[in-house]
């Protein structure tokens, strides 16, 4: 493609990328569903297999009004249903799931919305490939918040 700008001819290469590969009748088109479930919110983020192209990203906070309900299983279920609908529009029929908690020096268990989001993805008709826990766990870390005697209630 050639563009003329103030008398100068500039050549550019146009590259089109397709999320959906050519598939046969019985094969599945996979994406990667990354579920981040903390105790404050739940993110459901679907990308292509490389992780470079975002297909859909919805959080629990986008689905409910009250701040206290952002991490609830209900909000996570609504977010996952929304993501599944967008995936079907694009043509993704199956997902590998990577579920994650906050990790590091904080909690290593996923919040209440993690399991609900996974179940909602499965119930919406998407095939589930592999389920993997990708919570960051330090081999040796910085000092945990709270001081020498911990958090006193």
Domains of the chain: 26-133 (3.30.420.80)
| 140 pLDDT tier (thresholds 50, 70, 90) | confident
Across the chain, mean pLDDT equals: 89
Q: How far apart are CA 88 and CA 84, in angstroms?
A: 6
Mean pLDDT value of segment 90-119: 95
71-to-24, 57, 65, 123 alpha-carbon distances in Å: 39, 15, 12, 20
Q: What is the pLDDT of residues 20-31, one digit of tens each?
A: 554 555 689 999
Q: What is the pLDDT of residues 71-103, one digit of tens each?
A: 999 999 999 999 999 999 999 999 999 999 999
| 5 pLDDT tier (thresholds 50, 70, 90) | low
Percent of the chain topping pLDDT 70: 83
Q: What is the secondary structure of 21-57 as a DSSP string?
A: PP--SS---EEEEEEEE-SS-EEEEEE-TTS-SEEEE
Percent of the chain topping pLDDT 90: 75
Mean pLDDT value of segment 120-144: 93
Mean pLDDT value of segment 107-121: 95
| 16 pLDDT tier (thresholds 50, 70, 90) | low
60 compared with 3, residue with greater pLDDT: 60
Q: Which helix (H) or strand (E) holds 97?
A: strand 94-100
Residues pairing with 127 in the sheet: 94
Ordered alpha helix ranges (H), the chain: 73-90, 113-123
Question: CA Rg, the chain, in Å?
Answer: 20
């Amino acid at each position: 493609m050639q563009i003329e700008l103030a008398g100068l001819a500039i050549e550019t290469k146009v590259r089109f990328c397709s999320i959906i590969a050519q598939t046969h009748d019985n094969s599945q088109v996979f994406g990667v569903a990354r579920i981040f479930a903390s105790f404050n919110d739940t993110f459901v983020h679907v990308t292509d297999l490389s992780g470079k192209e975002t297909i859909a990203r919805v959080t629990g906070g986008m689905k409910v009004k009250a701040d206290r309900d952002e991490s609830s299983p209900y909000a996570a279920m609504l977010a996952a249903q929304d993501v599944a609908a967008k995936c079907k529009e694009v043509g993704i029929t199956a997902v590998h799931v990577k579920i994650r908690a906050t990790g590091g020096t904080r909690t290593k268990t996923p919040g209440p919305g993690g399991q609900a989001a996974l179940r909602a993805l499965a119930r919406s008709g998407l095939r589930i490939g592999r389920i993997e826990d990708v919570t960051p766990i330090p081999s040796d870390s910085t000092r945990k918040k709270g001081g020498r005697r911990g958090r006193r209630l």
